[in-house]
Structure 1
Amino acid sequence: MDSIDEEIIRCVLRNARSTYAEIGKAAGLSAPAAKRRLDRLVSTGAIRGFTAIVDPQTLAWRTEAFVEVYCRGNPTPGELRQALEGTPEVVEACTVSGAADAVLHMLARDITHLEQAIQRVRATAPVERTESVIVLSRLIDRPRL
């Protein structure tokens, strides 16, 4: 990974739909060279995919919670990720140190929707139990780099 690769990654993080010409301009490459570099980043796994980031407000998903997940056995992070990927209300998931195996950031339309989503998480194979806290207000919400 060099500075050109890093610039390509920054460009697609800003806009995953950037054209090869836009990526090339940002990285100081021609469009064909940018395509080759981007393809290499994808094939090596440095870039795992491209996605749309939907503003939860447009879905009217304004109920927010952090959910600690406690698992049966010792699932790998990959197994846990696979179990949680099918729950769109899980917008972020991290393995953590401490008693919990993972912490989820969840968004839902309302409390009923949140409860249903948490029930679906609890029904996944590795999950034994959860503990939830509902967000009342955001005090600091900085963009990520």
Structure 2
Amino acid sequence: MDTIDEAIIRCVMRNARSTYAEIGQAAGLSAPAAKRRLDRLVASGAIRGFTALVDPQALAWHTEAFVEVYCTGNPTPAQLRQALEDIPEVVEACTVSGAADAVLHMLARDITHLELAIQRVRATAPVDRTESVIVLSRLLNRPRL
């Protein structure tokens, strides 16, 4: 990874729909050279995919929560991910240090929808219990590097 690769990554992080010309301009390359470098970054796994960042308000999902998950036994991260991936309200899940086994970031239309989604989380095989906090206001939301 060199400074050109970093410039390409920064460009597509700002806008995943950037054209090869725009990526090339950001990295000091021609459009064909930018395409080759971008393809190499994807092939190497440095760029794992491209996505759309959707404003939850556009989906009318106004309720946001962070949920600590406590498991029975000792499930692997892969087992826990598999148990949670079919719950669309779970938009992010991380294993963590401390008492909880994982922390989930969840979005829902309203409190009733959130409660039903948390019940589905609790019904998965490795989950013993959860503790939730509801987001009142978002103070910062920065893009990740």
TM-score scaled by structure 1? 0.89
Q: 1:25 to 1:79 in 2, by over 3 A?
A: farther
Aligned alpha-carbon RMSD (Å) = 1.7
Alignment match, 2:31: 31
Q: CA deviation at 1:120?
A: 2.1
Instruction: Name the CA distance, whole Å, in 1 between partners of 2:31 and 2:83.
Output: 38
Structure 1 gap segments, 5+ residues each: none
Instruction: Name the CA distance, whole Å, in 1 between partners of 2:113 and 2:27.
Output: 43
Alignment match, 1:95: 95
Q: Which moved more, 1:123-132 or 1:38-47?
A: 123-132
Give the match's secondary structure for 1:113. helix
Instruction: Name the CA distance, whole Å, in 2 between partners of 1:83 and 1:10.
Output: 33
1:97-136 matched pairs, under 5 angstroms:
97-136=97-136
Instruction: Name the CA distance, whole Å, in 1 between partners of 2:21 and 2:135.
Output: 42
Instruction: Name the CA distance, whole Å, in 1 between partners of 2:33 and 2:48.
Output: 20
Alignment match, 1:22: 22
Instruction: Name the CA distance, whole Å, in 2 between partners of 1:8 and 1:101.
Output: 35
Deviation per CA, 1:44-102, whole angstroms, max 9, x where unpaired? Answer: 11111111111001111111111001123333333333332332222222221101011
Q: What is the percent sequence identity of the aligned residues? A: 85
Q: CA deviation at 1:137?
A: 3.1
Give the match's secondary structure for 1:18. coil
Instruction: Name the CA distance, whole Å, in 2 between partners of 1:49 and 1:126.
Output: 29
Instruction: Name the CA distance, whole Å, in 1 between partners of 2:82 and 2:19.
Output: 31
Instruction: Name the CA distance, whole Å, in 1 between partners of 2:51 and 2:66.
Output: 23
Q: CA deviation at 1:12?
A: 0.8
Instruction: Name the CA distance, whole Å, in 1 between partners of 2:21 and 2:82.
Output: 35
TM-score scaled by structure 2? 0.89
Alignment match, 1:57: 57
The one-letter code of the counterpart of 1:9 is: I
The one-letter code of the counterpart of 1:86 is: D
Q: CA deviation at 1:7?
A: 0.8
Q: 1:18 to 1:59 in 2, by over 3 A?
A: same
Q: 1:11 to 1:133 in 2, by over 3 A?
A: same
Structure 2 gap segments, 5+ residues each: none
Give the match's secondary structure for 1:94. strand
Q: CA deviation at 1:32?
A: 1.3
